Protein backbone atom coordinates (compact mmCIF):
# COMPACT_ATOMS: atom_id res chain seq x y z
CA UNK A 1 0.00 0.00 0.00
CA UNK A 2 1.53 3.32 -1.04
CA UNK A 3 0.97 6.66 0.60
CA UNK A 4 -0.10 9.96 -0.89
CA UNK A 5 1.69 11.59 -3.81
CA UNK A 6 3.11 14.43 -1.70
CA UNK A 7 6.73 13.47 -0.91
CA UNK A 8 8.45 14.14 2.40
CA UNK A 9 9.86 17.67 2.23
CA UNK A 10 13.44 17.59 1.01
CA UNK A 11 13.10 14.22 -0.75
CA UNK A 12 14.05 13.49 -4.32
CA UNK A 13 10.84 14.22 -6.20
CA UNK A 14 12.17 12.45 -9.29
CA UNK A 15 11.42 9.12 -7.66
CA UNK A 16 8.23 7.41 -8.93
CA UNK A 17 5.22 8.83 -7.14
CA UNK A 18 3.24 6.47 -4.91
CA UNK A 19 -0.33 5.59 -5.77
CA UNK A 20 -3.00 8.30 -5.26
CA UNK A 21 -4.47 8.47 -1.78
CA UNK A 22 -7.97 7.55 -0.79
CA UNK A 23 -10.46 10.37 -0.85
CA UNK A 24 -10.04 12.67 2.13
CA UNK A 25 -12.79 14.33 4.08
CA UNK A 26 -14.23 17.61 2.84
CA UNK A 27 -12.75 20.65 4.66
CA UNK A 28 -15.97 21.44 6.52
CA UNK A 29 -16.14 17.89 7.90
CA UNK A 30 -12.89 18.13 9.82
CA UNK A 31 -9.83 15.92 9.65
CA UNK A 32 -9.18 12.48 11.02
CA UNK A 33 -6.75 13.71 13.71
CA UNK A 34 -8.90 16.63 14.86
CA UNK A 35 -9.49 16.14 18.62
CA UNK A 36 -12.85 14.74 19.66
CA UNK A 37 -15.06 11.71 19.10
CA UNK A 38 -17.21 12.25 16.05
CA UNK A 39 -20.19 9.86 16.26
CA UNK A 40 -21.71 10.49 12.83
CA UNK A 41 -21.63 7.47 10.52
CA UNK A 42 -23.87 9.03 7.88
CA UNK A 43 -22.68 10.66 5.75
CA UNK A 44 -19.62 8.45 6.11
CA UNK A 45 -16.37 10.35 5.67
CA UNK A 46 -14.01 7.40 5.20
CA UNK A 47 -15.87 4.43 3.70
CA UNK A 48 -12.57 2.59 3.10
CA UNK A 49 -12.27 1.99 6.84
CA UNK A 50 -15.80 0.61 7.07
CA UNK A 51 -14.98 -1.75 4.20
CA UNK A 52 -11.91 -2.93 6.13
CA UNK A 53 -14.10 -3.51 9.18
CA UNK A 54 -16.55 -5.59 7.14
CA UNK A 55 -13.72 -7.65 5.67
CA UNK A 56 -12.30 -8.23 9.13
CA UNK A 57 -15.66 -9.54 10.35
CA UNK A 58 -15.68 -12.05 7.49
CA UNK A 59 -12.12 -13.06 8.36
CA UNK A 60 -13.08 -15.05 11.46
CA UNK A 61 -11.32 -18.01 13.06
CA UNK A 62 -10.91 -19.55 16.50
CA UNK A 63 -8.03 -21.19 18.33
CA UNK A 64 -10.17 -24.30 18.84
CA UNK A 65 -9.89 -25.02 15.11
CA UNK A 66 -6.13 -25.63 15.35
CA UNK A 67 -4.87 -29.20 15.79
CA UNK A 68 -1.63 -29.31 17.77
CA UNK A 69 -1.40 -33.11 18.03
CA UNK A 70 1.27 -33.50 15.32
CA UNK A 71 3.25 -30.63 16.84
CA UNK A 72 3.56 -32.47 20.15
CA UNK A 73 4.94 -35.51 18.35
CA UNK A 74 7.43 -33.31 16.48
CA UNK A 75 8.58 -31.65 19.70
CA UNK A 76 9.09 -35.04 21.33
CA UNK A 77 10.68 -36.98 18.48
CA UNK A 78 11.64 -34.91 15.43
CA UNK A 79 12.84 -31.48 16.44
CA UNK A 80 16.49 -30.70 17.23
CA UNK A 81 17.46 -28.98 20.50
CA UNK A 82 18.49 -25.83 18.61
CA UNK A 83 15.13 -25.78 16.83
CA UNK A 84 13.30 -26.27 20.12
CA UNK A 85 15.16 -23.27 21.54
CA UNK A 86 14.05 -21.25 18.50
CA UNK A 87 10.42 -22.28 19.01
CA UNK A 88 10.39 -21.49 22.74
CA UNK A 89 11.88 -18.04 22.17
CA UNK A 90 9.49 -17.42 19.29
CA UNK A 91 6.26 -18.17 21.12
CA UNK A 92 7.50 -16.22 24.15
CA UNK A 93 7.97 -13.16 21.94
CA UNK A 94 4.58 -13.64 20.29
CA UNK A 95 2.79 -13.67 23.65
CA UNK A 96 4.58 -10.50 24.73
CA UNK A 97 4.38 -8.72 21.38
CA UNK A 98 0.64 -8.96 20.89
CA UNK A 99 0.04 -7.67 24.41
CA UNK A 100 2.19 -4.60 23.64
CA UNK A 101 0.21 -4.07 20.46
CA UNK A 102 -3.14 -4.38 22.23
CA UNK A 103 -2.15 -1.91 24.95
CA UNK A 104 -0.95 0.66 22.42
CA UNK A 105 -4.12 0.20 20.42
CA UNK A 106 -6.32 1.08 23.40
CA UNK A 107 -4.18 3.69 25.13
CA UNK A 108 -2.58 5.62 22.27
CA UNK A 109 -4.42 5.05 18.98
CA UNK A 110 -8.17 4.65 19.49
CA UNK A 111 -8.72 7.99 21.23
CA UNK A 112 -6.91 10.02 18.53
CA UNK A 113 -8.52 8.57 15.38
CA UNK A 114 -11.58 10.77 15.01
CA UNK A 115 -13.72 8.72 12.65
CA UNK A 116 -16.33 6.27 13.98
CA UNK A 117 -15.93 3.91 11.04
CA UNK A 118 -12.17 3.72 11.71
CA UNK A 119 -12.78 3.13 15.41
CA UNK A 120 -15.08 0.25 14.45
CA UNK A 121 -12.11 -1.38 12.75
CA UNK A 122 -9.86 -0.71 15.75
CA UNK A 123 -12.45 -2.37 18.00
CA UNK A 124 -12.36 -5.45 15.79
CA UNK A 125 -8.57 -5.37 15.76
CA UNK A 126 -8.50 -5.39 19.55
CA UNK A 127 -10.56 -8.59 19.50
CA UNK A 128 -8.11 -10.12 17.03
CA UNK A 129 -5.13 -9.17 19.20
CA UNK A 130 -6.79 -10.92 22.14
CA UNK A 131 -7.36 -13.96 19.91
CA UNK A 132 -3.66 -13.97 19.02
CA UNK A 133 -2.73 -13.83 22.69
CA UNK A 134 -5.03 -16.82 23.28
CA UNK A 135 -3.33 -18.67 20.40
CA UNK A 136 0.12 -18.09 21.87
CA UNK A 137 -1.13 -18.91 25.37
CA UNK A 138 -2.34 -22.25 24.00
CA UNK A 139 0.99 -22.78 22.23
CA UNK A 140 2.97 -22.20 25.39
CA UNK A 141 0.69 -24.46 27.42
CA UNK A 142 1.13 -27.23 24.86
CA UNK A 143 4.77 -26.74 23.93
CA UNK A 144 6.31 -26.12 27.36
CA UNK A 145 5.09 -28.70 29.88
CA UNK A 146 7.48 -27.57 32.63
CA UNK A 147 5.64 -24.98 34.75
CA UNK A 148 8.72 -22.99 35.70
CA UNK A 149 9.85 -22.75 32.06
CA UNK A 150 6.35 -21.72 31.04
CA UNK A 151 6.24 -18.99 33.67
CA UNK A 152 9.61 -17.71 32.44
CA UNK A 153 8.29 -17.60 28.87
CA UNK A 154 5.24 -15.58 29.89
CA UNK A 155 7.58 -13.15 31.68
CA UNK A 156 9.90 -12.94 28.66
CA UNK A 157 10.03 -9.17 28.73
CA UNK A 158 11.70 -9.36 32.15
CA UNK A 159 14.04 -12.33 31.82
CA UNK A 160 14.93 -12.82 28.13
CA UNK A 161 17.29 -9.98 27.09
CA UNK A 162 16.62 -10.21 23.34
CA UNK A 163 12.87 -9.89 23.91
CA UNK A 164 13.32 -7.17 26.53
CA UNK A 165 15.32 -5.18 23.97
CA UNK A 166 12.50 -5.44 21.43
CA UNK A 167 10.01 -4.25 24.04
CA UNK A 168 12.23 -1.33 24.99
CA UNK A 169 12.43 -0.33 21.33
CA UNK A 170 8.62 -0.33 21.15
CA UNK A 171 8.23 1.73 24.30
CA UNK A 172 10.92 4.23 23.27
CA UNK A 173 9.20 5.06 20.00
CA UNK A 174 5.57 4.78 21.11
CA UNK A 175 5.34 5.87 24.74
CA UNK A 176 5.70 9.57 23.95
CA UNK A 177 1.96 9.48 23.18
CA UNK A 178 1.13 8.42 26.74
CA UNK A 179 0.93 12.01 28.00
CA UNK A 180 -0.81 13.47 24.95
CA UNK A 181 -4.55 13.73 25.49
CA UNK A 182 -5.27 15.76 22.34
CA UNK A 183 -3.44 16.12 19.04
CA UNK A 184 -3.85 19.90 18.84
CA UNK A 185 -0.43 20.90 17.48
CA UNK A 186 1.57 19.78 14.45
CA UNK A 187 4.22 18.37 16.80
CA UNK A 188 1.64 16.27 18.63
CA UNK A 189 0.26 14.99 15.33
CA UNK A 190 3.74 14.07 14.14
CA UNK A 191 4.24 12.20 17.41
CA UNK A 192 1.02 10.30 16.72
CA UNK A 193 2.31 9.46 13.24
CA UNK A 194 5.60 8.16 14.66
CA UNK A 195 3.64 5.95 17.05
CA UNK A 196 1.38 4.62 14.31
CA UNK A 197 4.21 4.07 11.84
CA UNK A 198 6.27 2.22 14.47
CA UNK A 199 3.18 0.17 15.31
CA UNK A 200 2.51 -0.72 11.67
CA UNK A 201 5.91 -1.04 10.02
CA UNK A 202 8.27 -2.05 12.84
CA UNK A 203 6.19 -4.19 15.17
CA UNK A 204 3.49 -5.70 12.99
CA UNK A 205 5.34 -5.21 9.70
CA UNK A 206 8.86 -6.30 10.69
CA UNK A 207 9.03 -8.04 14.08
CA UNK A 208 5.98 -10.20 13.44
CA UNK A 209 6.81 -10.83 9.79
CA UNK A 210 10.29 -11.98 10.76
CA UNK A 211 8.70 -14.35 13.27
CA UNK A 212 6.43 -15.72 10.55
CA UNK A 213 9.53 -16.56 8.50
CA UNK A 214 10.87 -18.78 11.29
CA UNK A 215 7.53 -20.60 11.41
CA UNK A 216 7.44 -21.15 7.65
CA UNK A 217 11.07 -22.30 7.70
CA UNK A 218 10.10 -25.04 10.15
CA UNK A 219 7.07 -25.89 8.03
CA UNK A 220 9.35 -26.24 4.99
CA UNK A 221 11.05 -29.05 6.94
CA UNK A 222 7.70 -30.70 7.68
CA UNK A 223 7.68 -29.58 11.33
CA UNK A 224 4.99 -28.02 13.54
CA UNK A 225 2.11 -27.89 11.08
CA UNK A 226 -0.29 -26.79 13.82
CA UNK A 227 1.85 -23.74 14.54
CA UNK A 228 2.02 -23.00 10.82
CA UNK A 229 -1.76 -23.34 10.38
CA UNK A 230 -2.42 -20.88 13.20
CA UNK A 231 0.27 -18.58 11.87
CA UNK A 232 -1.47 -18.50 8.49
CA UNK A 233 -4.49 -17.01 10.21
CA UNK A 234 -2.46 -14.61 12.33
CA UNK A 235 -0.58 -13.53 9.21
CA UNK A 236 -3.84 -12.61 7.53
CA UNK A 237 -4.92 -10.56 10.52
CA UNK A 238 -1.58 -8.78 10.86
CA UNK A 239 -1.49 -7.94 7.15
CA UNK A 240 -4.89 -6.31 7.49
CA UNK A 241 -3.81 -4.45 10.65
CA UNK A 242 -0.77 -3.07 8.88
CA UNK A 243 -2.77 -2.04 5.82
CA UNK A 244 -5.33 -0.28 8.01
CA UNK A 245 -2.64 1.67 9.87
CA UNK A 246 -0.95 2.67 6.62
CA UNK A 247 -4.31 3.80 5.26
CA UNK A 248 -4.72 6.05 8.31
CA UNK A 249 -1.26 7.48 7.60
CA UNK A 250 -2.31 7.87 3.96
CA UNK A 251 -5.42 9.78 5.02
CA UNK A 252 -3.50 12.10 7.34
CA UNK A 253 -0.98 12.74 4.59
CA UNK A 254 -3.74 13.70 2.17
CA UNK A 255 -5.36 16.04 4.70
CA UNK A 256 -2.23 17.54 6.28
CA UNK A 257 0.73 17.08 3.91
CA UNK A 258 2.74 19.69 5.81
CA UNK A 259 3.21 17.18 8.64
CA UNK A 260 5.35 14.98 6.40
CA UNK A 261 8.49 17.09 6.43
CA UNK A 262 12.12 16.05 6.06
CA UNK A 263 12.56 15.67 9.81
CA UNK A 264 9.72 13.16 10.04
CA UNK A 265 11.14 11.25 7.09
CA UNK A 266 14.53 11.05 8.78
CA UNK A 267 12.96 9.92 12.06
CA UNK A 268 11.03 7.15 10.34
CA UNK A 269 14.09 5.97 8.43
CA UNK A 270 16.10 5.92 11.66
CA UNK A 271 13.31 4.06 13.45
CA UNK A 272 13.10 1.33 10.83
CA UNK A 273 16.89 0.97 10.80
CA UNK A 274 16.89 0.53 14.58
CA UNK A 275 14.13 -2.06 14.26
CA UNK A 276 16.29 -4.07 11.85
CA UNK A 277 19.21 -3.98 14.28
CA UNK A 278 16.96 -4.95 17.18
CA UNK A 279 15.44 -7.88 15.30
CA UNK A 280 18.91 -8.95 14.14
CA UNK A 281 19.96 -9.37 17.77
CA UNK A 282 16.82 -11.42 18.41
CA UNK A 283 17.84 -13.61 15.45
CA UNK A 284 21.25 -14.14 17.05
CA UNK A 285 19.45 -15.44 20.14
CA UNK A 286 17.04 -17.69 18.22
CA UNK A 287 19.67 -19.13 15.90
CA UNK A 288 22.63 -18.98 18.25
CA UNK A 289 22.63 -22.72 18.94
CA UNK A 290 23.00 -23.51 15.24
CA UNK A 291 19.77 -24.21 13.35
CA UNK A 292 20.59 -26.18 10.16
CA UNK A 293 19.40 -24.37 7.04
CA UNK A 294 18.90 -20.92 8.55
CA UNK A 295 21.76 -18.51 9.24
CA UNK A 296 21.92 -15.19 11.04
CA UNK A 297 23.47 -13.60 7.93
CA UNK A 298 20.56 -14.67 5.71
CA UNK A 299 18.10 -13.54 8.35
CA UNK A 300 19.75 -10.11 8.38
CA UNK A 301 19.33 -9.84 4.60
CA UNK A 302 15.72 -10.89 4.94
CA UNK A 303 15.12 -8.19 7.57
CA UNK A 304 16.69 -5.60 5.31
CA UNK A 305 14.52 -6.78 2.44
CA UNK A 306 11.36 -6.40 4.53
CA UNK A 307 12.51 -3.01 5.85
CA UNK A 308 12.94 -1.75 2.29
CA UNK A 309 9.38 -2.82 1.51
CA UNK A 310 8.10 -0.86 4.49
CA UNK A 311 10.05 2.25 3.52
CA UNK A 312 8.67 2.02 0.00
CA UNK A 313 5.13 1.72 1.36
CA UNK A 314 5.73 4.99 3.19
CA UNK A 315 7.07 6.72 0.09
CA UNK A 316 10.61 6.82 1.51
CA UNK A 317 13.83 5.74 -0.25
CA UNK A 318 14.96 2.16 0.30
CA UNK A 319 18.08 1.93 2.44
CA UNK A 320 19.43 -1.58 1.94
CA UNK A 321 18.83 -2.86 -1.57
CA UNK A 322 18.50 -6.37 -0.17
CA UNK A 323 16.86 -9.33 -1.87
CA UNK A 324 14.84 -12.03 -0.16
CA UNK A 325 17.29 -14.86 0.64
CA UNK A 326 14.62 -17.27 1.84
CA UNK A 327 13.41 -19.30 -1.12
CA UNK A 328 11.12 -21.27 1.19
CA UNK A 329 9.01 -18.15 1.59
CA UNK A 330 8.24 -18.31 -2.12
CA UNK A 331 8.15 -22.10 -2.47
CA UNK A 332 5.86 -22.74 0.47
CA UNK A 333 2.31 -23.82 -0.23
CA UNK A 334 0.73 -20.40 0.16
CA UNK A 335 -2.62 -21.23 -1.35
CA UNK A 336 -4.33 -20.13 1.83
CA UNK A 337 -2.47 -16.82 1.77
CA UNK A 338 -2.41 -15.86 -1.89
CA UNK A 339 -5.59 -14.21 -3.16
CA UNK A 340 -7.43 -15.50 -0.09
CA UNK A 341 -9.58 -12.40 -0.24
CA UNK A 342 -10.92 -13.34 -3.65
CA UNK A 343 -12.66 -16.55 -2.69
CA UNK A 344 -14.22 -18.37 0.21
CA UNK A 345 -11.48 -20.05 2.23
CA UNK A 346 -12.37 -23.56 3.31
CA UNK A 347 -10.33 -23.44 6.51
CA UNK A 348 -11.95 -20.19 7.57
CA UNK A 349 -15.43 -19.90 8.93
CA UNK A 350 -16.15 -17.19 6.37
CA UNK A 351 -14.31 -15.73 3.40
CA UNK A 352 -12.73 -12.32 2.84
CA UNK A 353 -12.21 -10.07 -0.14
CA UNK A 354 -8.97 -8.29 -1.14
CA UNK A 355 -5.33 -9.20 -1.85
CA UNK A 356 -2.32 -10.43 0.09
CA UNK A 357 0.92 -10.93 -1.82
CA UNK A 358 4.13 -12.41 -0.47
CA UNK A 359 6.30 -10.37 -2.81
CA UNK A 360 4.99 -7.14 -1.28
CA UNK A 361 4.82 -8.00 2.40
CA UNK A 362 7.86 -10.23 2.69
**291: Cβ contacts below 8 Å, ≥ 6 apart:** 80, 82, 83, 86
The DSSP annotation for 250-283 comes to HHHHHH-GGGS-HHHHHHHHHHHHHHHHHHHHHH
- Residue of 53, 136, 143, 302 with catalytic role: 136
Contact assessment for residue 340 and residue 55, using Cβ atoms and an 8 Å cutoff: no
Cα 181 off chain centre by: 25
Q: Cα–Cα distance between 30 and 34 in angstroms, integer?
A: 7
Q: Cα–Cα distance between 290 and 115 in angstroms, integer?
A: 49
| C-alpha to C-alpha distances, 79 to 66, 284, 350, nearest whole angstrom | 20, 19, 34
The reply to whether 136 belongs to the active site is yes
| C-alpha to C-alpha distances, 164 to 98, 160, 335, nearest whole angstrom | 14, 6, 35
Dihedral sign, CA of 208, 188, 270, 304? positive
Virtual CA dihedral for 350, 353, 358, 362, nearest 10 degrees? -90
Q: Cα–Cα distance between 27 and 5 in angstroms, integer?
A: 19
Catalytic residues: 136
Amino acid sequence: MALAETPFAGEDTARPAPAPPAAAAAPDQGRILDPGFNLTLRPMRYPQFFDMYRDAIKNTWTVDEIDFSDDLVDLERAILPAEKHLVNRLVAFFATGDSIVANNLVLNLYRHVNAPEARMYLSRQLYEEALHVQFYLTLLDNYIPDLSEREAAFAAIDNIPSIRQKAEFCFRWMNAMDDIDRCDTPQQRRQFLLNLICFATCIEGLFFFAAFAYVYFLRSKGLLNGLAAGTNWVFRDESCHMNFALEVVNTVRAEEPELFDAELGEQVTTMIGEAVDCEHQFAEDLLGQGVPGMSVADTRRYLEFVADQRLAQLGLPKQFGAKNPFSFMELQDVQELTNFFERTVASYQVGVEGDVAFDEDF
